[in-house]
Every structure is written in structure tokens, then in C-alpha cells.
Amino acid sequence: MGYTIENILDTLNEHQVRATYSAVAALLGVHQRRVGQILGNRRPYASWRQAVIQ
């Protein structure tokens, strides 16, 4: 199955878990340095290190 950055973000946010750029890169089939470019502008939905406040 081919993953997209949006599929990955949806899953990470749904389960409230973090992932390294390396892990995401492996799913996308790209070098880990490319993940930041694929993510684009910073936004809360794409921030895996942001704490979830309840």
C-alpha cells in the first residue's frame, strides 16, 4: 500500500503518538531529510512533538 503524508498524519493524530522523521521517511520511501519538505509549513496537525492538552 502506498502511504501519503496525510494518511500518516491522520494515524499519528488519531492515536496521539509520535514518529521520527526516519520512520515516516521509510513509509513514504524517501530520505528522512525530505520529510520536512513534504510536511511543508509548520502547523499543529503536523507537529508530532506537541503535547496533547486535555
Judge contact between 35 and 4, C-beta under 8 A: no
Closest C-alpha among 20, 7, 6 to residue 48:
20
Residue type at 23 in one-letter notation: A
pLDDT along the chain (54 residues), means of 10: 91 90 93 93 77 46
pLDDT score at 43: 86
pLDDT score at 48: 66
Q: What is the pTM of this model?
A: 0.79
